Structure 1
């Protein structure tokens, strides 16, 4: 699963703005860096927020229709909301 983290590129170094990727045993990780124009940043943020909202709504709908099994798979429902 792809994860997205905000950062500024200064020279050849990334400066993390919000959440930082969790280092997994300090081994190298492959990354793709997408350079956004100022006009694209708001668009990108809105798309990310919209995706998160859709996942939240789907989880709430499942809880609403779950009957007696409401909390059976809560961790699965919300695993992507920590991004």
Structure 2
């Protein structure tokens, strides 16, 4: 491994210590992009590698409220219905 990959691995170990599958996926991507990353100084200047380390996250939650007239449970999350054509 190169120093660049060692730095990435150390950063991963600090920020996501219990995500082994994520570590493996990140290192496989960085194995492929290391040569391109080294050739372009702008990538290093703008810390593109560090930005690529943060995974996308989707947060879902429900909001419960107290109705003024009758007790009501938390609403179920919306469902998507698929229309079938004959």
How does the TM-score come out when normalised to structure 2?
0.27
More strand by share: 1
How does the TM-score come out when normalised to structure 1?
0.28
